[in-house]
Structure formats: structure tokens, C-alpha cells
Amino acid sequence: MGVRERDLVMDSGMESLKAMIGTPYKASESIATTSDRWKQSETRLGVEFPPDYKNLVEIYGTHAWAGFLHTLIPGHVRRSLELETRGLRILGALLEAAREYPGSIEYPIYPERCGLYPWGVTDNGDILCWLTQGYPNWWPTVVINTRGGSIEKHAMTASALIASFLDGTLQSPLLLGPFDGKRPQNSDPGWEDGCY
């Protein structure tokens, strides 16, 4: 039996992240990672989350990558990092910007077919979105700079984008700009000896 296209996965950065920063003793308790909670969130939003993202959240939980990039997580206790709450606010803001400035966002916005759906944010207000075209395993990441209106598309999973951001190989003026285009110096995973 051959591999179905749906089962193929874009290169994941999970192994790179594990090699770079290790894994925590346990994921943060402020996240909801049970299969029921994932299903509930996916059903409410009408989105099937990429397996790479679920794996990232289940292993690393709440984390400020380089003290700068934050993953939105279903069921997070902080509303500013909760995937549904923050995600819907971001979508509303993107829709408003697209209405006010036609052509400013070159991709459809969820719930439109193949629309952008946010999975992360930065301290500078950048938004990291999936472009929900095709199977979730293959969704690229689109970075939107809300201050300058710039947009970048990266054919990378969430974990691959984070790994390349941390190791300095990501070709992204938007995300690496605050670090003078270099590897972020603060790549501390936020735990010691594998524990929070």
C-alpha cells in the first residue's frame, strides 16, 4: 500500500528543536492537549490543525521562543495566547484591514476557502498564520507585519519555522529584523535540566 498524499508531511523542525534546546520534563499545565480538547477546538473553529503544530504544543507547551515569538494554544489560561480567543480577534482585525485597505493582504482570510488562520504572534505585533490550502500537513506559514504591512510566505511548518528562526537560517527580515538579521541571542528554552 502506497503513502497517501494526505499523510505526507512538510519537513518538520521538531527534531531540530529537540537537538537545539532539548525537551522539557513536562509540558506546561496551562495548555489543553487531550485529544478531546483538540477535537473540541477543531470542531468549533472548523479547522483541522496540522499534526506538526499539535506535536509542538504537546511537547513544548507555553513557550516564548527567544523571548519574542509565542505560539497560540487552544485552552491556554492567558486569553492573549489562547488560539480561539486571540485567533478570532486577529482574524477580525485582518478582515477589517482588508476592507479598509483593499489589496493590503494578498491572501484570503479564514473562514474564506484557503484562508489565513493565525498560530503565533511576536512581541512586535507580527502575526504568524497558516495558509490553509490543501492538507494541514502541507500548510505554509505566512508572516504579517502589522506595523509596516509587509507579508512573507515560508513553505515551513510551525516547528520548522521556529527552529530556523532560532538557529538563524530563516530568511525573514520581519522576524529577524529586531535581532539585526542575526540569530536571536536569547535562545534559552526557559527551563533547566529538562524541567520548568
Residue 158 CA from chain centroid, whole number: 5
Cell numbers describing residue 22: 532539548
Q: What is the largest CA-CA distance in the chain?
A: 51
Which residue type occupies 166?
Answer: L
Q: How far apart are CA 38 and CA 173, in angstroms?
A: 33
What's residue 78's pLDDT? 86
DSSP per residue, the chain: -PPPGGG--PPP-HHHHHHHH---SS--TTS--SHHHHHHHHHHHT----HHHHHHHHHH-S-EETTTEEE-BTT-SSGGGBHHHHHHHHHHHHHHHHHHSTTSS-S-BTTSTT-EEEEEEETTS-EEEEE--S-GGGPPEEEE-TTT--EEEE---HHHHHHHHHHT----HHHHGGGTTS--S----S-BTTB-
* pTM across the whole model: 0.84
- The reported pLDDT for the residue numbered 30 is 43
Single-letter amino acid, residue 143? V
Q: List phi, psi (to 5°) of 23.
A: -130, 145
The three cell numbers locating residue 106? 494578498
The 10s digit of each residue's pLDDT in 64-112 is 888 899 999 888 888 888 889 999 999 999 999 999 999 889 999 999 9
pLDDT: which is higher, 21 or 161: 161
pLDDT of residue 79: 87
Question: For 6-29, how does the pLDDT look when each residue is reduced to its tens digit (9 = 90+)?
Answer: 444 556 788 888 888 887 755 554
pLDDT tens digit sequence for 120-153: 999 989 999 999 999 998 899 999 998 877 899 9
Cα separation, 182 vs 170, in Å, equals 10
